[in-house]
Amino acid sequence: MKKFTAVTIASVAAIALFLTGCSQVGSAATIGSTKITQATVQTSIDTVMAERATVDTTQMQLETGEELNRSQLRFHLFAGLLKAAATDLKITVSKAEIDTRREVIIQQVGGVDKLPTALVGAGIASIDFDVYLEAVLNSEKIQKTFVDAGTAEAEIPTKMQALVVATGQKNKVTVNPRYGVWNAKTAEVTAAPSDVVSPSATPSN
């Protein structure tokens, strides 16, 4: 599970999109008409922090502070963008597929009692586990369309990045600058400059 999750989360962190300032009150980000609320992101952050207290984290390298805030927003953004890209490609993920993948992962980590530790290590709130599974399945199905079209395996990461970036631009994605800024050249969400975001504007954990 650790290897599987690390690879997928690394992909989530690497494949992002063009983000600009978001003006909607209460909005952490938007994907077209779909709003990711600050409450949604904060609930994920709070859940991650609470669940860390229930497992042994002494051997884990865990995100904290503003980086944790950005990573949780990035998670919701990327899941939404993958879903939008999948919709454009007429790809769907059923509840049955999510349920099946959940059981596979539970077996991989050694049972239900081991799942909390695996999720904490991956930085995934338990309330977001199904969202994560849907994102993984969407990603796999999109990648399969590339393979079926003759794309070489080595080219798939680049194709995935290009697709998600294009999806973000098509849907006019925006992000609240309190969470950071998007660097289109390096394809990463970075901390906002100190002259743009004051300490009082930083989301709390």
Per-residue pLDDT reduced to its tens digit, 126-148: 999 999 999 999 999 999 999 99
Q: How confident is the model at residue 204 (pLDDT cuts 50, 70, 90)?
A: very low
Rounded percentage of the chain residues whose pLDDT exceeds 90: 62
Query: Residue 15 above 50 pLDDT?
Result: no
Per-residue pLDDT reduced to its tens digit, 89-138: 999 999 999 999 999 999 999 999 999 999 999 999 999 999 999 999 99
Query: Residue 34 above 60 pLDDT?
Result: yes
DSSP for the chain reads -HHHHHHHHHHHHHS-----B--STTEEEEETTEEEEHHHHHHHHHHHHHHHTTS--TT-----HHHHHHHHHHHHHHHHHHHHHHHHTT----HHHHHHHHHHHHHHHTSGGGHHHHHHHHT--GGGHHHHHHHHHHHHHHHHHHHHTT--GGGHHHHHHHHHHHHHHHTT-EE-GGG-EEETTTTEEEPPPTTTS-GGGSPP-
Query: Residue 31 above 60 pLDDT?
Result: yes
Query: Residue 16 above 50 pLDDT?
Result: no
